[in-house]
Amino acid sequence: MVALFVAFLSLGGVLAWGLTRGNLFSDSAPPIAPIVLPEVAPEITASRVDPEISPDGLADDVDFSGMTAQEELAARAAIRRERLLSREPRPLEEATRAGAVGAATAGVVATPDRVVASEAASGEAQEAITFTDVPDDYWAEPYIDALSSRGLISGYDDGTFRPDQPVTRAQVANIVSRTFDLTADQASLEFTDVASDYWARESIGEVVRGGFMTGFPDDTFAPNLPVTRTQALTTLVTGLGIESPTDVQATLSRYSDANTIPQWANEKIAAATDSSLVVNYPTASQLNPTEPTTRAELSAMIYQALVGEGAVEPVESEYVVKPQ
């Protein structure tokens, strides 16, 4: 898949929740001290662009006229997936430990050419888990049901999902590793704050080797740091190799709070927007880019990423930001 880069996860203080390998979330992690969101734009290195593919991964001669918005989204996903999978693989230079950590400093990482949905994510759905705090009319219920029916997420022992709780870097690593088949395009890294028996150690290793995430210059991964909406979307855009649109500012202008998007993330958020990864509740035009990502929001983002890969059918929702 087209190579891209991930902008790194650090942010304002919120409570973080750890989880077990079998669950997406639990309530065992301690509070996290406040972290300041970086103000500088990360340096972008080793960018690779395929001239035959336009910014959304499709050739310019594809005609979507006469289609509904939902039909166009499904068509774009199918064509993009087919074309990316048909391209010849391009080897990446093996990352050294110093090089990978250096990329973390700049907030970028090299990504694999191809990322496809895991067998669980793209396979036949089973019966969804019924959570006591996710009613049928809850805005994210279709996304939560879809992911739970594929074994990608689960809830707490008391039968709740706790959709409004924030997620951490470890939790993002966990669900990304479950959702996508990640190839080892990067060198393995050892992090001083990820013990050999840490519940998410395997997932963290997979997303690092797969090019979705990396660590910090002090050899830490900071697994309990909470994740902003900007950072969650940037991780998906980077890992999936989604190119930004030609007119970034025009794409971002649909958001009433576009001026609060960190400068380094403008292109990534524009790419997420044009790929229908963005789901804004309760107001589609308000991104809330620096707010912590909740469990419900992450579920919606992950599902939309699967839609973009052609692995699942789109969910009709007024909160999905559609391409212009």
**Three state DSSP letters for the chain:** CCCCCCCCCCCCCCECCCCCCCCCCCCCCCECCCCCCCCCCCCCCCCCCCCCCCCCCCCCCCCCCCCCHHHHHHHHHHHHHHHHHHCCCCCCCCCCHHHHHHHHHHCCCCCCCCCEECHHHHCCCCCCCCCCCCCCCCCCHHHHHHHHCCCCCCCCCCCCCCCCCECEHHHHHHHHHHHEECCCCCCCCCCCCCCCCCCCHHHHHHHHHCCCCCCCCCCCCCCCCECEHHHHHHHHHHHHCCCCCCCHHHHHCCCCCHHHCCHHHHHHHHHHHHCCCCECCCCCCCCCCCCECEHHHHHHHHHHHHHHCCCCCCCCCCCECCCC
Distance (Å, whole) CA 143 – CA 304:
9
At 292, give phi and psi (nearest 5°): -65, 145
Q: Does the global pTM surpass 0.75?
A: no
pLDDT at residue 302, rounded to an integer: 97
Show the CA angle centred on residue 238, arms to residues 234 and 244, nearest 5°.
Answer: 80
C-beta separation of 73 from 162 below 8 A: no
C-beta separation of 121 from 148 below 8 A: no
For the packed helices 229-240 and 169-179, what is the interaxial angle rounded to 10 degrees? 30
Residue-level pLDDT, tens digit, the chain, 324 residues? 444 443 434 333 333 333 333 345 443 333 322 223 333 333 322 232 332 323 333 334 456 566 665 565 556 555 544 443 443 333 322 322 322 322 332 333 444 455 777 777 777 888 999 999 999 999 999 999 999 999 999 999 999 999 999 999 999 999 999 999 887 655 667 899 999 999 999 999 999 888 888 889 999 999 999 999 999 999 999 999 999 999 999 999 999 999 999 999 999 999 999 999 999 999 999 999 999 999 999 999 999 999 998 999 999 999 999 988
Residue 58's CB is within 10 A of a number of other CB atoms, namely 15
Question: CA torsion, points 84, 204, 231, 7, in degrees to nearest 10?
Answer: -70
